Every structure is written in structure tokens, then in C-alpha cells.
Structure 1
Amino acid sequence: MGQPAQQAGGSAGDQFYVTHCATADSVLNNPGYTVRAASSGDADALDAAFRYPPYELPIDMWRDPPPPAAAPRRLARTRYPDGGVWAVHSAYLAKDSVDRDRSYFSHLLLLDAAEPAAVLRSWGADGWVTNYPPGAEKQLDRADLPTGPLVSDAALTAFLGEQPPGPTELSLTVCPPRLRTSGAERSDLFARFLQALLLLAAEEEPQRRRLYVHAEPGVVALLLYGAVRLLPPAVTDDLTFSTFEPYHRNIRDYRLAEVVGTYIGPPETGKGLDADLGTTRGIALDTIVPARSSRELRAPLAESLPAGIDELIELAARGEWGLLPAVRHAVGADPSGLPRVAVGAGSRAGAGPRGRRHGGHRRPARAPVRPDRSGRTEGAR
């Protein structure tokens, strides 16, 4: 069920539980999918929680419904129309309150403010409630955003190394079995994700201002966290996202987030994103069927990765997070400063983080990225 959301260093906000329940258990006194419990009686907030997009299991999982641990979860940060942000966690339930298949439980926090990184760090937190028994209280206390154990600086460093972190169950995993064989491949995947965020930030066509990511929701959460930590503020400040939205519910019409994760079904099905999501509709990064990614994200990394990104990945892979404030100061607020991070011959041409060369060859590892006293980075003069 999860524990009530705990203090996470921010200001408390109102919380709402949305799920299937009987009329007697509904805050709004209606049966079916409704607000089950809340800390606020504000009519507008209750209505907004009630109308928040529902969760659905991927359609390819309907025939043989999985246990909750083997179903995707949603973690989202979206804007509340009257100010503030929603932090939303949705989990699959095998049955609804009248024993029908395929239900869900959404736990929503309405906060005055919540940085994208703070929301992402809540992935896997016990403070996200995932079910609530009949007859339990309708009145909740206000709550803070919880902090989980699976998305953090240390978790990203482990992901980029040789000992990938965390569980393998779909509901929580930040490194599923398909990604556990090669640290170099995981580093390249992270490079692609950073490249995709930079493309999104540079996109001038309003109809393409959306990044679709096909991956397990926890992978989306960890990669997005890394991007928020490493990329300039102009790229990631106030970024809205959802780690999972059901693909079959016309994902093209989903407009609440700039980064939209989806999971179509088990990788062995071979199903990927439709072509228009990566052309006319937005930018697409398909981590399961890479050929379905946008054209810009299929070019060799040696030719397409912007200067400075390789060095940022290396910083994260080495766990040198203490250097990050000075590096970000040297880069500045927007991506134009990223080349200042580049050191020596540190282009992507032939090399990946920590000296890995594409194709299995190696070269000596580069020196760590270190800012000098002028705020520039050594080797970038």
C-alpha cells in the first residue's frame, strides 16, 4: 500500500487519492473512478484531481494481466492551471472494487513548487500510496513529496558503470534485464537521451515541442533525472514529464507534458513508436526499437553528439558530483556554453565515457573534467 508521503525538504501540499470505489467511500459521493480521499475540500482542486488522465495497462498486457509488480507505473510532473504543480504517481491494480480486471490507483500531490529533480527522486518511494482499503478515512493530512532509493546521483553513476542498480521488476526497475549486459551501451543510451533533450529545447516548430520516449518508466525517470542534473537550466528548468502514458489511448493528443514516456509491451514483441511521433508530431527516442527513433537520433554518436556532452557523462560516470556546480557555472544557463566543458581531444569521435571506444576497442581514459579558477574547464581554453 505504501506509507503516507513524508517530509522531503519542501513545502507540504494537498494530496488526493483517485481510484475505483463505492459511493460510500467517495469524497465526491459518486461510484466508480473518483476521488477516494483528500486533504482539501476545494471544489476546483477535487475536480482537477478527478479529471486527471487515468492510468491504463498497455493493451498488449490485457490478455494475460500481470501482477502489479510486473506492470508499468507512472510518475508525472505537470502544471496545475491555477498555479503550482501536480506530482502524480499511478500504479496498476489487478481488480477494481467490484472485482473487474485492470484497475489503478493514482496518488496526486498539489504543490506550490517542486523541482523536476525532486519529483524524479521520488521514484520508488514508499511514500507513494498504491492502494487504500474500503472504509478507511476520506480525510487526509497535507504531505510532502517523498524521496525514494532508486533515482539519485549514485544510482546514475551505477547505471553508467559495470554494476547496474536496483530491482528488475517492471514497476520499479531503472535498469531492466535488457540493459544489464553492457555499461558502454548504457552510457550511449544516456548520451542519446541528453541529445534528445537538447533537440527538444532547440525545436522551433510548436507542433514538435514534445519528446516521446519508449522505455520502461523507471528508465525514463533515471535518464531524465540525469539530464536535469547535467544540462543547462534553459533546457530543463520547469520541465514537465510523465514516465508512462498508455500508448493505445491516442498518445498524440496528450498535452500535459513536454517529455512523454510510454511502454508498448514486452520488448520481445518488437513493437515500436509510430513514425509520425518522431517527424511531424515531435521528437522520438525509442530505446527498445531504435530504428523508430527520430532521424536525428539515429545518426552515429561520433557525428551527432554536441560538444561537451561526453564530458558531462564522464563526470557522472566517475561520480564526481562535487564538481558539478563549478562546471554548470562555467557552462552558463543555455546550451551554447556546453563546448566549454570539452577537454583536450574529448570529442565523441571514437570514444565514450571512461575511455570506451565504440566497437569494443579502448583508448586511455581522459582526465576528469575540472574547472579552473576562472570558471572555465581545464583543457577547454
Structure 2
Amino acid sequence: MLEIRPLSRLDASVRAPGSKSYTQRAMIIAALAEGRSRLRDALLSEDTERLAEALCALGTAIRTEGRDMIVAGTAGKIVRPPRAIHLGNNGTALRLLAGVASLGEGPFVLTGDNRLCERPLKPLLEALAVLGVKSDTDGGLGYPPVTIMGGGLLGGEVILRDIGSSQYVSSLLIAAPFADADTTIVLEGKIPSLPYVALTTETMEAFGVRVLSNGGGRYVVKSGQRYRGRDYRIEGDVSSASYFFLAAALLKGRVRVENVDPRTLQGDIGFLKILEQLGCEIRREDLHVEVQGGELPGGEMSFDLGAMPDLAPTLAVLCAVRPGRSLIRNIAHLRLKECDRLAALVTELRRTGIGAEELPDGISIAGGKPRGAVIETYNDHRIAMSFAILGLAAPGMRIAGETCVGKSFPGFWTALEGLYG
């Protein structure tokens, strides 16, 4: 358990680690590429270590040099491992590797921790079936462990409608160049975290595969294209940077976060616009962002986080000190994250004396003056980091299970210590 020391004055600079979203996509694409790739400033964390182990089991070789990863490409020729691939609690790896596994001669078994085995895969497996790939889950319910028979993608058109994760789309896109024929993916209805599909296509194109899109939810990947190994720089992680943006807003202080590109495709960059709504001044430079906190406005406010759901804990903590009622909406799928993130947020906010309740698609928060408490993290890195920042303004905050930050930001506690000067 770690007690957070309160901070009365904030004027600091920190560096964001490499983006987890970009790192994992680049690792997989580099593993499928022809030739060797160097991924500069990659995120080295529990999730990326799990993914590296999985990719090595599928036939690639990965090693680290400082903050870089060196990936030996397989040219799309993956091998069947002798045992199941265990992904821990890495949901991104589970979904993206389901598509990759379709390219080899199976069966391939993907599994993980108990919580990972509660994450639905059925829409992705149904889409793979349309493209000619057979799969199986226990009882046919669509939850891991999942067995992918492989044998290759036929190509064709598949429609994804009202799905719970944009990573289903990314999984199909990454594997599509190896299909026998062109692949068309059509999106209809609600798709959470949609900006991350653009992040996937940008990474694919950086490695030599073009994705045609009409901007209206239709993607075409021409068959026969191949990824080419390259030297590729991973940009900074906006989700990780958001905790320090939050610190500035909470303490009415100044934080400069290096290694953040304000022009990024990462959906979480939209948090800066929310902070401007909430009285902060933002300076956007080429590779850093500076946030100066201000007076938080009162009254009822509603926030749609459908494009940046990972920032729900960050925003919830800020709303806990904002006078007035806050509604955080369009995040129902957070019940299927590392924990039931909506229930966890409500429980832990109440523990600090803040009124909060679950809504069908989000949470409602009555702002006030939070008090210190022992925070249960539920092994959820984002709960741990968000409430740790709240502890800067609420004396007596203690974080139980603080090591869970290793999933996405192993250097978080060191970076937090740097705020004290």
C-alpha cells in the first residue's frame, strides 16, 4: 500500500512514456513484416511483455535495446506454438492476435487471466467466419479461451454493427493484406473508441500497406500488399499524460508533459478540449503540451467519452472536486475492462465522501471536497493512477495494489515523485 503525499504547489515537467496503443500495433505489424524493424521509444510494460512473448511463440524474435524494440519479421508466416498462448489481462493483444492467428495453420489457442476470459469475442469471431476462418470457444459462448483454426482469410465483405470494441475492426484490418482476395469492412451503428481505428490504419500505412477509406465507416484493404520492416518511432502515450494534465487542473498548477504530439490520432487527446471547458489554459507545441489549471466552473455538465473511454477515471476524479453534478456518458462498455470500471469508480468515489451513482451508459458524480481513503484498485492501472493524483489534493489517500500500474506505465510512481520538485 502506498500513501500519497499532498502537494500544495505544482510547477513541473514530466515525460510521457511510449504509447501502449501504438506500441502493440507496431509490434504485431512488424512481426508480420518482411525484414527487421526497430521500434524506437516503445512502451516496455507488462502488456507489451505479454504480447512480445506471444509473438515469439508465433515465430518472430523480439529483443530490447534501451527504450527500443528490435523485431524480426516473419513475412506473415506464423507458426503454431506447442501450447496455448497466455495473454494475462491484455485485451488488446487478445483481439488483435485473433486476426493474426487466422493466417497460420492452426489450431491456435488464446487464453488469459480470469478477467480476460470474461471479455466477449463473439462479434470478431463471427466476422472472421464470414472471411472463412473457423473458431471455437467453450460452450460456443464467444469468450476465451478461444481456438482459432487458421488456414488463411478468404477476403470479401464483412459488416460490423453496434460492436463493443473498435479493436475488432483493427484485428481484421491488420490481417487483411494476407487474404486471398480484397477485404472490405463496413461499420454500422455505435463503435466505441473509433479514433483508434485510424491509429491502426496509420500504423499499417507506415509499414507499407494502404487502407482505402471513404470516411464513412467503409475500409478496403487490397490483397497481396505486404508490410515492410522499418525504423519506426513510437509517439508518447496521451492516456498516461492525462494523469499529469489532471494534476494541473486539480491543483490549479502548471504541468508541461514532454513527448506528447498535440496532432496525434490518439482519441484521448480530446481530453485537452474538456480541460479547456473546465477552466484550464492549454499550450500545444510540437512535442509537448503545457496545462495551467484554473477555476473549475460550477453547475451541471455532461461529457461524452465514447471516443476516449480510458479517460473516464481521470475525468471522474476531476469531477469529484468540481462544484455541481457531472454526467460522464457513452462508456457502458467499461464494465468489461480490467475490472467493472463503472462500479469501481462509483465505489471508490463514495469511499472518499463523494456522491456517485451508476447510469446505464455511464456515471453521475456530485462534486464536493473528497477526503483521504484507502483506495481499492481492483488490479486496474487506471483506477490506481487517477486516485493517486486525487491524493495530491486530498490528504491521507492510500493506494492498495499500487503495482498494477505496471500494465501500462511502470514509471508512474517515479514520475509522480518528480512533481514534488
Higher strand share: 2
TM-score normalised by L of structure 1:
0.30
